[in-house]
Amino acid sequence: MTMNNQGRPSAPGAGEAQAFSTISGDRGLDHEEKLIFELGRPGVSGVDLPEVQMSETRLAGHRRRGPIGLPGLSEPEVVRHYVRLSRMNYAIDAGLYPLGSCTMKHNPRLNEKMARLPGFGDLHPLAPQSTAQGALALISELMRWLTTLTGMPAVAMSPKAGAHGELCGLLTIKAAIEARGEKRPRILVPESAHGTNPATAAFAGFAVDEVKATADGRVDVAALKAKLGPDVGAIMLTNPNTCGLFERDIVEIADLVHKAGAYFYCDGANFNAIAGRVRPGDLGIDAMHINLHKTFSTPHGGGGPGAGPVVLSARLAAFAPLPLLVHDAKGFRLIEDRAEVPQGAQPFGRMCAFHGQMGMFVRALAYMLSHGRDGVRQASEDAVLSANYILASLKDTMSAPFEGPCMHEALFDDHFLDDTGVTTLDFAKAMIDEGYHPMTMYFPLVVHGAMLIEPTESESKESLDRFIHVLRTMAQDAKAGKRERFEGAPRLAPRRRLDEPAGARNPVLRWKPKDLPKAAE
């Protein structure tokens, strides 16, 4: 083992890692953990259950016919198993999480504490509205914040996440078009869009027409003009876009779309770069979803949960989906029936059975109230500053596809790896050996070998400097021909590199022992 320039022990090199092995299979405090089904033994339980006498008449044929294959472990064994598994995972609490387009920011514990208050954490979706006045008041206050920050007069709170919000926005636009007695079956989508944009448009029944980008990574306004026509229902555009760039022609684009009789849908996944600084409503946007689980603190990743409220312009507000939250002499209440909606409202229907994600609402409002509008703005500015610091510090060693500054995420391509024999995947996997989760790879698709890095506002300069030092050194090693550092990486992770294409094509989603009784299958 060697010492690094900070006097700390360095990780073993590839030769050391491969040469050294243990009898147990563990590596220091990192345990080689089996599946919980492999650890379990028959007849072992972490709890004592009382004997219950049930008559055969009451069982009525429901008695178990054979073992069901559940693992048997003591309580300490269960706790140790999941603690050991947690050590194999990477988290924002362990270090910088550079995934671009995902906004893996620090989540203040205050917000988690608020979401776990009994009145919010234990709230049942079927609770009578008279018993949930505090929760409805919180939703109303969150709606006020969202409309204020976006400069939009209305917001639909029920969508569960970003893509669900996109669908809500397009169905609102579709209802507005139909109310005008028109048919506009085409949606324009820039080529740098999130993949959910064209998928959502198609799911909503529209035909998708791609709009090319210019050499500087932004929407080609001339190409957009050529595609506008009486059959265009809307444009779906992300701003800042997926390349981490602000669309400078956003106001002109909005004017062109509106003059053509269409609507402007903005993907708000990157709202955390402009929140508190730019109001989307002032840019001419008609509908935009907001990922509360990215911009306003809720933990992102792991498949959810999420929340994707959709803010709406005056042109679309009347078509917002049910339920509608109102406050009158009777208190706060949700209008569920079309017959009860206020005059002029024309809701297109409803998105889901229940009204949004309460835990997400609590966290988001706690984030907003603790930061204030100025604090939200500072968070956006700090996120942009962090990304530009990384871009400026690395663009002489790594290659950036576009000139000039970025917004909240720094984008690099793989040209700096030309003739090295090292691929984007090799580079990203080698980051794991350095203690970092890889950045987003091969996205956006418009950039070859893309490496998208989003540091967020959560990281200190010292944290960014360490990250920059690691990437700079790795890039220099790749150019120096040190391919052994990258080939087959990671070497120090709980598992070596997997065959990702094979895993995607032939996923094994269930473990079954070879001797499992047929009755238990």
What's the predicted TM-score (pTM) here? 0.89
Location of structure tokens 């406050």 = 327
Q: Which two tokens stand for residue 287?
A: 């509908």
Distance CA 357, CA 347 (A): 20
Is 88 part of any domain?
no
Return the C-alpha torsion angle 369, 373, 379, 380, nearest 10: 140
Is 162 part of any domain?
yes
Q: What 3 state SS string does 149-173 have?
A: HHCCCEEECCCCCHHHHHHHHHHHH
Is 423 part of any domain?
no
Instruction: Report whether pLDDT(109) > 70.
Output: yes
Instruction: Name the residue among 279, 266, 127, 150 with its Cα closest to residue 142.
Output: 150
Instruction: Name the residue among 272, 217, 209 with its Cα closest to residue 236.
Output: 209
Q: Among 16-25, 52-61, 375-384, whose mean pLDDT is lowest?
A: 16-25
CATH number of the domain that residue 209 is part of: 3.40.640.10
Is 114 part of any domain?
yes
Is 312 part of any domain?
yes
Instruction: Name the residue among 407, 411, 393, 404 with its Cα closest to residue 471.
Output: 393
pLDDT band at 14 (very low <50, low <70, confident <90, very high): very low
pLDDT tens digits, residue range 193-223? 888 999 999 999 999 999 999 999 999 999 9
On whether the CB atoms of residues 511 and 35 are closer than 8 A, the answer is yes
pLDDT band at 91 (very low <50, low <70, confident <90, very high): confident
Look up residue 491 and give its DSSP letter. S
Q: Which two tokens stand for residue 487?
A: 């080939």
Cβ atoms < 10 Å from Cβ of 267: 27
Is 89 part of any domain?
no
pLDDT for the residue numbered 64:
77
How far separated are the first and last CA of the chain, in Å rounded?
49
pLDDT for the residue numbered 3:
39
- What is the rounded average pLDDT of the residues 436-456? 95
Cβ atoms < 10 Å from Cβ of 292: 29
Ramachandran category for residue 466: left, alpha or beta (phi over 0 → left; psi -120 to 50 → alpha): alpha
pLDDT for the residue numbered 430:
97
**Total number of domains in the chain:** 1
Instruction: Name the residue among 321, 379, 393 with its Cα closest to residue 159.
Output: 321
Return the C-alpha torsion angle 145, 147, 149, 150, nearest 10: 160
pLDDT tens digits, residue range 46-75? 888 788 777 766 767 777 778 777 899 999
Is 399 part of any domain?
no
Please give the residue that has the higher pLDDT: either 322 or 496. 322
Alpha-carbon distances, residue 219 vs 39, 235, 369 (angstroms)? 55, 11, 36
Is 202 part of any domain?
yes
pLDDT band at 509 (very low <50, low <70, confident <90, very high): confident
Alpha-carbon distances, residue 180 vs 173, 176, 261, 326 (angstroms)? 11, 7, 11, 27
On whether the CB atoms of residues 92 and 99 are closer than 8 A, the answer is no
Domain span at residue 131 reads: 110-367
Return the C-alpha torsion angle 432, 437, 439, 442, nearest 10: 60
Q: Which two tokens stand for residue 40?
A: 């379990």
pLDDT band at 11 (very low <50, low <70, confident <90, very high): very low
Alpha helix (H) ranges present in 250-357? 250-259, 292-295
Q: Among 38-52, 188-202, 330-344, 355-369, whose mean pLDDT is lowest?
A: 38-52
Q: Among 5-9, 293-297, 431-435, 510-514, whose mean pLDDT is lowest?
A: 5-9
